[in-house]
Amino acid sequence: MAYTATKEEEAKELARRYKDLLKGTYQELSNKDKASIRKAFELAVEAHKPQRRKTGEPYIYHPIAVAKIVADEIGLGAISITAALLHDVVEDTDYTIEDIEQLFGETVARIVNGLTKISHLKKDDASVQAENYRKMLLTLNDDVRVILIKIADRYHNMQTLDAMPAHKQTRIASETLFIYAPLAHRLGLYTIKTELEDLGLKYTEPEVYYDIAKRIKDTKEQRDNYIDEFSSIIYKSLQDEKFDFEIKGRTKSIFSIRKKMLKQGVDFDEVYDKFAIRIIFKPQSHDEKHDAWKIYSIVTDHFTPNPIRLRDWMTQPKSTGYEALHTTVMGPKGKWVEVQIRSDRMNEIAEKGYAAHYKYKHGSEKETGLENWLNKIKDALENTEANAVDFVENVKLNLYSKEIYTFTPNGDIKSLPKGATPIDFAYAVHTDVGSKCRGAKVNGKIVPLSKELKSGDQVEIITSNGQKPKLAWLDYAVTSRARSKIKNALKEEQKKLGEEGKEILHRKLKTLKVKFNEKTINELVNFFKLKTSLDLFYRIGNGSISNTDLKNYANQRSNSFTALFKGKRRKKTDPENHTNEVTQKFDLLVFGKDEETLPYINAKCCNPIPGDKVFGFITINEGIKVHRVDCPNAVSLRANYGYRTLKAKWIDSTQREFKINIMVSGIDNVGIVNDVTLVISNAMNVNIQRINIDSEDGYFEGHIRVSVKNIEQLNKLISSLKSIDGVMKVEREKESKK
């Protein structure tokens, strides 16, 4: 329907919206606050006067709507409301940041400037979206209110997205699901996060959205009757205990129902927990937890609880600041019902997030989960070498993930995302503990570093000064902190190995009677199809480029070969000023936990290339087909044929490790075990996977499993073991145990 309001009607509507804004503020406003907001309102009205939205409405309606979301739904104060009213002024009009600072002060100007910087970014594809996301998070270093206002801005844009062309609707909705909904979730804005997800689904998968919405509407009467029946059973018992409370039924969001349908592989009718019942109470005493547990006991007096579905978010709040007591009980007609018990304070924090949290915070209180999260993000921002997409993936690992609560040997609690391992725990304790982690005990038992931790686990990290981070740790590190620290350590190790490799190469070229100079380095980089001199030095250092490979180079270094280099003008590669990052070649695709090489074909629907994130799908007639994880068919294949999917990844074959079994035997001298392990640990980049040495009547026999990169390393290790006093025989065992 076309917009047809007259100027007089618009003026009246503008006044009404402004009064509604002031009336609906969560925080109390002083006269000074109101004066600042009024000044911002008048400037915004004047600045945006010529502008119209796609709907035909005056543009000023948008900043007012954003300010109202900021004031009421997020619950921020006068500075944020002022900044929200001005958030598009510098972007879209002749006013400058200097004008804003002069009129409204440095804080408002800083927030508006942060919002303007975000708006300048293009948003055309995933990598640019990722850069958008990173730059938005960088504003945390200035003021988290920038992100909160930007979320409000996006929320209102999503509410009015109907006026945009279809291709823009899809792009904006996709970005909303990719960036803004996870951020709203992490900042505790549950209501806004839910709305953003539903609106995102509405424009990315409209048929799915409208189908679920219709089915929710069609079952509303039946659902309301059930909620009334459930509530009436506990209502009198709560009144008898003198509780001041209300009981609400809340339908799960369309997006979350869709997520459950995909995850469980079921239809709408088969999703059993499509709604929850919420009991919100005013505390009777100073102890909210006591009252909440009392209400829990009343509920479970009437309905049998599911013991594995009890969640106490009061004793240990979520890192979003969320507090509540959740239980699932068997309700009337044999249906499971989720019951959420919250005080009015807990409910405010659940609805308003960040702002309500600070309203209730007391002076000497410890850092909260939210503040810890903000600090972790700032810590991740310091890792500036990560590309934008990797950065976003690392951060988002901890955005939507469910949390577990683990304990140190001293009883200190560590909150980690679900799926975290002892490596994540070690880095959560301290970077040094993570870097020197040699092993871990969980509840007193030694476990692999890849073991998934569970809530309540007590974890002890075993450290060694000789231990260093390993490439394999990245396969089971979950937290962005652990992953970034491991990557940084590996880069340092690569750099160090590169320096050693440079010295080794100098000696080997001398033996081959080849001059060690810039020209030779360039030839070698091209010969081995590498990109930088550091790539070359690193691969010499770790043994990936063997003596045989270098001899092949020397043999082919003919006049025609060198003439090729003379005839080409190439970019100068200075071995002294190489880059600090080793190139990843992504030349080998491996499958499964054991990283096997298997025959495969690329799926035509998504055409994966080396370096893409992929998975294998076992077809009936064509063997393994490889799909990108973001392939349009990926969700369907994984949901319906999960048992036929294979984990797969591209790797740099020069950094691959092979598990080899070695048998060592000889005369049992004192300290022979120590001598054997010392030789292996001193061998270049060789790690012991398993060792078992038996001794009887002066004779010993040992079976050792090690990781090596190539046959040269293995031969060098076998030669070193044979040189140990007392060792009579060393041989590679024929069968390599998996």
Q: What is the pLDDT of residues 340-353, one digit of tens each?
A: 999 999 998 888 87
Give the mean pLDDT of 640-644. 77
Does residue 423 contact residue 407 with C-beta atoms inside 8 Å?
A: no
Predicted pLDDT of residue 625: 92
647 and 662: one domain?
no
Q: What's the rounded Cα separation, in Å, for the pair 513 and 345?
A: 79
Q: Give how far Cα 349 sits from Cα of 8, 300, 368, 570, 658, Å.
A: 40, 26, 13, 61, 52
Which segment, 80-89, 346-355, 485-494, is predicted with the most confidence on average? 80-89
Confidence of residue 374 (pLDDT cuts 50, 70, 90): low
Q: How far is CA 729 from the centre of its chain?
A: 50
**Same domain, yes or no, for 232 and 347?**
yes
Determine the average pLDDT of the residues in 185-204. 89
- Is the pLDDT at 581 greater than 60? The verdict is no
Burial state string for 440-455 with b = 16 or more CB within 10 A and e = fewer than 16? bebeeeebebebebee
- CATH value at residue 64: 1.10.3210.10
Contact 673/507 with Cβ under 8 angstroms?
A: no
| Rounded mean pLDDT, 518-547 | 81
At 201-253, the pLDDT tens digits run 999 899 999 999 999 999 889 888 999 999 999 999 999 999 999 999 888 89
Residue span of the structural domain in which 646 resides = 588-651
pTM: 0.61
Residue 456 belongs to a domain: no
Residues 194 and 59 in one domain: yes
Q: Indicate if 323 belongs to the active site.
A: no
Residue whose entry in the numeric block shows the structure tokens 């018992």 = 237
Task: Say whether both 669 and 708 belong to one domain.
Answer: yes
- Domain count along the chain: 5
**Structural domain includes residue 213:** no
Indicate the residue type of 302: H
Quick one: pLDDT at residue 636?
75
Where is pLDDT greater, at 92 or 159?
159
* CA–CA dist 638, 260 (Å, integer): 14
Name the average pLDDT for the chain: 81
Helix/strand/coil for 51 = coil
Q: Name the band, by pLDDT with cuts 50, 70 and 90, for residue 620.
A: confident
User: Of 140-154, 191-205, 281-295, which range is least confident?
Assistant: 140-154
pLDDT band at 85 (very low <50, low <70, confident <90, very high): very high
pLDDT at position 4, please? 74
Name which of 73-82, 305-314, 669-678 the model is least confident about. Answer: 669-678
600, part of any domain = yes
537, 635: one domain: no
What pLDDT score was predicted for residue 124? Answer: 47
Q: Is residue 410 part of a domain?
A: no
Residue 615 is predicted with a pLDDT of 92
The DSSP bridge partners found for residue 461 are: 440
Task: Supply the pLDDT for residue 185.
Answer: 83
* Residue 567 predicted with pLDDT over 70: no
Mean pLDDT of the 176-197 span: 86
pLDDT band at 577 (very low <50, low <70, confident <90, very high): very low
What are the beta bridge partners of residue 340? 278, 326
Which one of the listed residues 57, 92, 142, 475 is annotated catalytic? 92
pLDDT of residue 408: 87
Does pLDDT of 326 surpass 80? yes
Q: Which residue has the higher pLDDT, 550 or 359?
A: 550
Q: Is residue 422 part of a domain?
A: no
Provide the residue count of the chain. 738
> Do 258 and 316 belong to one domain?
yes
Asked if 243 and 295 touch (Cβ cutoff 8 Å), the reply is: yes
Q: Which of 131-140, 464-473, 551-560 has the highest mean pLDDT?
A: 464-473
Lowest mean pLDDT among 286-290, 451-455, 656-660: 656-660
Q: Is the residue at 620 inside a domain?
A: yes
Tell whether the model's pLDDT for residue 580 goes beyond 50.
no
Q: What is the DSSP string of 651-720?
A: E-GGG--EEEEEEEEEE--TTHHHHHHHHHHHSTT-EEEEEEEEEETTEEEEEEEEEESSHHHHHHHHHH
Summarize the confidence of residues 402-426 as an average pLDDT: 85
Domain final residue, candidates 604, 635, 651: 651
User: If 0-12 CB within 10 Å is exposed, 13-18 middle and 19+ buried, where does residue 649 land?
Assistant: middle
Which of the two residues, 473 and 399, has the higher pLDDT score? 473
Q: Which of 91, 549, 581, 701 is catalytic?
A: 91
Task: Tell which of 171, 204, 237 closes a domain.
Answer: 204
Which residue is it, tokens 């969001």? 253
List, for residues 598-611, the tens digit of each pLDDT value. Answer: 889 999 888 888 87
Check residue 738 and give its pLDDT: 41
Residues 94 and 54 in one domain: yes
Q: CA distances (Å), 520 to each of 72, 510, 526, 533, 565, in order? A: 68, 12, 10, 11, 10
Confidence band, pLDDT 50/70/90 cuts, at residue 560: very low
Specify the pLDDT at position 132. Answer: 60
Asked if pLDDT for residue 540 goes beyond 90, the answer is no
275-282 and 645-651 beta bridge pairing = unpaired
- Which of the given ranges, 33-47, 620-634, 700-714, has the highest pLDDT on average? 33-47
Q: Please indicate, yes or no, whether residues 608 and 697 belong to a single structural domain of this protein.
A: no
Answer yes or no: is pLDDT of 728 > 90: no
401: Cα separation from own chain's centroid: 8
> Comparing 262-276, 597-611, 672-686, which segment has the lowest mean pLDDT?
672-686
Q: Does residue 233 share a domain with residue 181?
A: no
Residues 528 and 614 in one domain: no
Report, as an integer, the average pLDDT of 436-456: 87
Q: How confident is the model at residue 136 (pLDDT cuts 50, 70, 90)?
A: low
pLDDT at 158 over 80: yes
- With bands split at pLDDT 50, 70 and 90, how would you rate the model's confidence at 359? low
| Of 524, 499, 515, residue with least CA distance to 576 | 499
50 lies in the same domain as 159: yes
For residues 697 and 722, membership in a common domain is answered with: yes
Domain boundary among 296, 331, 360: 360
Asked if residue 399 has pLDDT above 60, the reply is no
Mean pLDDT score, 701-714: 80
Indicate whether 387 pLDDT > 70.
no
Q: How many CA atoms lie within 13 A of 371 on its CB side?
A: 8
- In the predicted structure, residue 264 carries a pLDDT above the cut 90: no
Is residue 383 domain-resident? no
Lowest mean pLDDT of 198-202, 216-220, 398-402, 459-463, name the range: 398-402
Q: What is the pLDDT of residue 735?
A: 55
**pLDDT over 90 at 672, yes or no:** no
pLDDT tier at 446, thresholds 50, 70, 90: confident
Residue 397 lies in a domain: no
Of 19, 8, 70, 10, the closest CA to residue 41 belongs to 19
Q: What pLDDT shows up at residue 642?
A: 75
Q: For this structure, is 301 an active site residue?
A: no
What is the layout of strands, in order, in the sheet containing 699-708?
A: 687-696, 699-708, 658-667, 727-732
* Least confident segment among 248-262, 359-373, 467-481: 359-373
Whole-number percent of the chain with pLDDT over 90: 25
pLDDT of residue 381: 55
